[in-house]
Amino acid sequence: MRVCREVGAFGVGTVLNAKTARSQLLGGIVMGIGMGLMEETQLDSRSARFITQEPADDHVPVSPDVPDIDAIFVPERDPHVNAVGAKGLGEIGITGTAAAPANAIHHATGRRIRELPLTLDNVLATSFSPP
């Protein structure tokens, strides 16, 4: 499966530095694409141990895997976060990114996948659930 375009809109509170805030959100989107489509923890059924234990075992997105992405700031004032109203943006971009392709698959095929990564094997193993 490929994602051809990704747009995320995020309520981030007061933006202190637009350039670094946007970069944090774009990085989170790329991490979410990797989580949804590539990264997988495999378990050995005989020993109940993880087969994928090293970071080198993970498939993560690289430049050719990353589609055209954009992050939009949704204006909001949140005086309850802190005095400035700024929020930490480290992983907010991940939110919803892995779910978006899963929802697209459900919309196109009627199959609701609840396991990551989203692979053809998971689509075929999931039963059809009419809307």
Q: Indicate which residues carry an active-site annotation.
A: 91
Please report, as a single letter, which amino acid is at residue 84: V
22-39 exposure pattern, b = at least 16 Cβ within 10 A, e = fewer: bebbbbbbbbbbbbbbbb
**How far apart are the C-alpha atoms of 61 and 38, rounded to whole Å?**
8
